Homo-oligomer: A and B are copies of this chain.
Amino acid sequence: MFESAELEHKLSKSEYDALEPQLRTDLLSAQFELLESKGFATVVLINGIDGAGRGETVNLLNEWMDPRHIEVHAFDEPTDEERQRPALWRFWRALPPKGKIGILFGNWYSDPILGRAFGRIKKAELDQRLSEFNRFEAMLAAEGVLLIKLWFHLSQSGQKKRLKAFEANPDTRWRVQEADWEFYEHYDRYREVAEHVLRCTSTGVAPWVIVDGSDPQYRSVHVGRTLLDALRRKLDFLAKGYKTRQTAAPLLPPVDQRNLLNALVLNQPMDKKEYDKQLEKLQGRLALAVRSEAFARRSLILVFEGMDAAGKGGAIRRITQALDTRQYHVIPIAAPSDEELAQPYLWRFWRRLPRRGKVAIFDRSWYGRVLVERVEGFCSEADWMRAYAEINDFEDQLVSAGAVVLKFWLSVSPEEQLRRFQDREQEAFKRYKITQEDWRNREKWPLYEPAVCDMIDRTSTENAVWTLVEADNKYYARLKVLRTLVTRLEDALKK
């Protein structure tokens, strides 16, 4: 969930200066178009980690746009008046009318997240609240409200850096209070709760946008662009006369071009000799784990995704070598059968779920919905936007039923892919592995990259985390997969 936001995105002063004037102009004109059309109300939720720049961003938005048509509401302890009504009353009062932008700094999420992080409410109670929020937000969306939910994020070290920097400067020292450091001590717990909340409330109609708060320039442009993009999409739809109620925008690619995939160093060192040695050890540990008594009460579900020739098959074989053939199934996912097409898209995966003590290895998977189906336009934007939450629900059910779910993205560079394609064409026994379609897919690389990044940000959850595998060196990649698998599985079996 926070993968992209922990990449420490940056924008230099000069890059920022080059982007800012246009962004301001565009935002201002979108704001006036909204005001004149009175087409819908815009609600911006501001949440996140202390020190991640929430307040600064709100000030900036007020500076960039016409503050007379922005209503900023900050919520602290409920007043006497508020305490005497339902909890959502104070937020209903703060809803902006059509044509205006309301910024809710602190909102319905603040209290439940804090309450859970500090152990004041139980998980089941938190979940009840979250499901109320989902219904509330679905209603707002159906009523035409544009809802933009921003989560300002910092890694723990990032938070420390920010607090220290404030303290070091006499002008900003006042901003750091004892409570901030106390909070910092609870970072892990807070992050864990936040991840759960964001997963459960990132719906197709109102997804969260996670903002890397570490660099002020980057953060400002990212928020500005997100707001602009959402406003523009909805304004343009309305101008065309469409009566679109629900318009959640896909994530924008990072302004600084730095993303989860290109941040990886794909060619990692690993020689054959060391590989053979480690492979044997890891396979041995895997064999022990799946034969253990503890595993008889669990199951293992592995998902492999990656561009063609990324080495999925090879990595899978190194796993199955350690397994008893009666214990596992490798399930290659290609185009669905007629029978599968006659069912909801997740059905073909439900039918292949392993029972206890068994291993299911998906060579491509349900993520096709947000990868190939998105890129090729096989389903509508609304369909793949809702799929993130549906997939998270699905995996959550798997994990609740005792499965260990591990997901691997094998990341290969275009150059290395080309070498492997050519290699396949030349070797007679590999020729079946390369088709015209592989070449066509290769051309769509630039479309896959943002789809993959969105997928990881939106579906890497506390229950089922993605592992990104640098895969230009096959030896390295296979070992990373195996090591991750063995470590995670051993950990899970201890619980």
Contact with B along A328-369 (1 / 0, CB 8 A): 000000000001001111110011010110000000000000
A124 at the interface (CB under 8 A from B): yes
In the complex, what distance in Å separates the CA atom of A332 from the CA atom of B134?
Answer: 31
Q: Which of A111-125 contact B (CB under 8 A)?
A: 122, 124-125
In the complex, what distance in Å separates the CA atom of A401 from the CA atom of B83?
Answer: 9
Chain B's closest residue to A355 (CB) is B84
- Docked-complex contact A383 and B89, CB < 8 angstroms: no
Chain B's closest residue to A136 (CB) is B393
- Docked-complex contact B139 and A41, CB < 8 angstroms: no
Q: Which of A127-183 contact B (CB under 8 A)?
A: 127-128, 131-132, 134-136, 139-140, 142-143, 145
A344 → chain B closest CB, angstroms: 4
Chain B's closest residue to A339 (CB) is B97
Residues of chain A at interface, number, CB under 8 A: 52
Contact residues in B for A142 (Cβ distance below 8 Å):
383, 386
Contact with B along A75-119 (1 / 0, CB 8 A): 000000100111111001101011100000000000000000000
- Docked-complex contact A344 and B383, CB < 8 angstroms: no
- Docked-complex contact A347 and B95, CB < 8 angstroms: yes
A299 at the interface (CB under 8 A from B): yes
- Docked-complex contact B139 and A390, CB < 8 angstroms: yes
Known: A86-B400, A124-B128, A397-B86. A41 touches B343 (CB 8 A): yes
A477 at the interface (CB under 8 A from B): no
Contact residues in B for A93 (Cβ distance below 8 Å):
350-351
Q: Which of A170-224 contact B (CB under 8 A)?
A: none
- Docked-complex contact B92 and A342, CB < 8 angstroms: no
In the complex, what distance in Å separates the CA atom of A469 from the CA atom of B307?
Answer: 68
In the complex, what distance in Å separates the CA atom of A89 from the CA atom of B89?
Answer: 39
In the complex, what distance in Å separates the CA atom of A36 from the CA atom of B453?
Answer: 41
- Docked-complex contact A139 and B386, CB < 8 angstroms: yes
A372 → chain B closest CB, angstroms: 18
A249 at the interface (CB under 8 A from B): no
Contact with B along A370-402 (1 / 0, CB 8 A): 000000000000010010011001000110110
Instruction: State which of B125, B353, B389 has its C-beta within 8 Å of the C-beta of A135.
Output: B389
With A89-B353, A95-B347, A128-B131 known, 5 other A-B pairs at CB within 8 A are A41-B342, A89-B350, A95-B344, A136-B393, A143-B344
Between A and B, 9 residue pairs with Cβ closer than 8 Å are: A84-B401, A86-B397, A92-B346, A93-B351, A122-B124, A124-B125, A124-B128, A139-B344, A139-B346
